[in-house]
Structure 1
Amino acid sequence: MKKLMMSATIVACFALKCAKAQTVNGIRLSEIRSDYIQVKGINRAFSDKVLVSLEYGQNAPNLDNTYIKDDDGKKMEFNSIIEFVNKSKAYGYNLFNVFSEQNGKDSSIAVYVLKRK
């Protein structure tokens, strides 16, 4: 029994060490109390990953303040915007609406609106 408890403790410590808190504009996502949030996937040059821009009504003077970042202030990369939409369920949000926003003259970007449960 002692060995089982010890190994469970070690596994939990490693899991917590690898877990990174997600923040936007210095606020943890778990602390956002807005009823609706808006997220966009920003494609990275020469990468298959995307950055996620999240807006919940915060004062963000530039786009860099809307990116989701880890504890170290490094922009977090996701495999797709849908990966983040799925993870947002853990923060109490469900997909509410998707619309297209003009992004330049000849292109558009999908914008996802999430609603608090």
Structure 2
Amino acid sequence: MKKLMILAAMVAGFALPDAKAQTVNGVRLTDINANYMQVKEIKRTFAQKVFVSVEYGQIADDLNKTCIKDDLGKKMEFDSALDFVNKAKSYGYELFQVFSEREWKSDSNAVYVLKRK
């Protein structure tokens, strides 16, 4: 039993440095108490991956404050906004609605609304 406990502690010790806490405006996604959140992707020029913007009712005067960041404060990259929507299931959210938002005359982006289960 003692060996099992030591082995479990070692595995946890090696796994924890790689774990990244996802935050928005300094608040962990697990600590958000909002019933709904809005998710948009922020495309970058000449890049395959995107940043994801999450709004849940916080003061969002700066786009930088709505981006998902890791525990070091660096913006996290995702394959798409839908990639984050799939990961949000582990935070207790499910897809509620999708609509398009127009920025330019010929350009529209999907906006995902998630609802707490």
TM-score norm. by structure 1 comes to 0.92
For 2:106, the equivalent position in structure 1 comes to 106
- Consecutive unaligned residues in structure 2, runs of 5 or more: none
Distance of 1:44 and 1:13 partners within structure 2? 35
Kindly state the Cα deviation for residue 71 of structure 1 after the two structures are TM-superposed: 1.3
- The residue aligned with 1:58 is 58
Shift of 1:3: 4.5
Deviates more, 1:8-17 or 1:35-44: 8-17
**Separation in 1, partners of 2:66, 2:40:** 10
How far the C-alpha of 1:90 sits from its partner, in A, is 1.2
> 1:1-117 residue pairs with structure 2 within 5 A?
2-117=2-117
Cα offset, 1:4, TM superposition: 4.3
The Cα of 1:8 is off from its aligned counterpart by 2.9
| Structure 1 position 105, deviation (Å) | 2.5
SS in 1 for 2:15: helix
Over residues 18-74 of structure 1, what are the superposed CA-to-partner deviations in whole Å (9 max), with x where a residue is unaligned? 111111111111111111000001112221111000000111111111000111111
Distance in 2, matches of 1:45 and 1:14, equals: 35
Aligned residue pairs, count: 117
Q: How far, CA to CA, are the matches of 2:5 and 2:66 in structure 1? A: 41
C-alpha offsets along residues 56-115 of structure 1, whole Å, 9 cap, x if unaligned? 011111111100011111100012212211111111100001000002221010000000
TM-score, L = length of structure 2: 0.92
Of 93-102 and 83-92, the range deviating more from structure 2:
83-92
